[in-house]
């Protein structure tokens, strides 16, 4: 299994209650970037940036296609 970047050397601290769940097969998803990277008061719109910055920058849109290969537990239902 190809692990996502940053998880190749992951070791579960509590194997009885795993934090990361790996999917057998990656699933195509759409990511709501506004929820993943919320803007703040200092947020700058892309059309206000100089062309040289936009040309060399990353493309971020409201929703972007992605691939889900694992899930991380952030809460317990107990």
Domain spans of the chain, in order of start: 20-72
Per-residue pLDDT band at 59 (split at 50, 70, 90): confident
- pLDDT at residue 8 in the model: 73
Q: Which long-range contacts (CB under 8 A, 24 or more apart) does 33-41 make?
A: 33/60, 33/61, 33/62, 33/63, 33/64, 34/62
Determine if residue 6 is left, alpha or beta; phi over 0 gives left, psi from -120 to 50 gives alpha, anything else beta. Answer: left
pLDDT in tens, 3-47: 667 777 778 887 787 888 888 898 999 988 777 766 665 566 666
The mean per-residue pLDDT over the stretch 57-77 comes to 80
Whole-model pTM over 0.75: no
Residue 61: CA atoms inside 13 Å, Cβ hemisphere, count?
5
């Amino acid at each position: 299994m190809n692990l996502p970047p940053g998880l190749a050397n992951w070791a579960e601290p509590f194997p009885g209650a795993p934090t990361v769940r790996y999917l057998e097969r990656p699933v195509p998803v759409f990511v709501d970037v506004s929820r993943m990277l919320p803007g703040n008061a200092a947020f700058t719109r892309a059309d206000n940036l100089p062309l040289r910055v936009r040309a060399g920058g990353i493309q971020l849109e409201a929703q972007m296609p992605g691939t889900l290969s694992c899930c991380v537990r952030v809460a317990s239902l107990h």
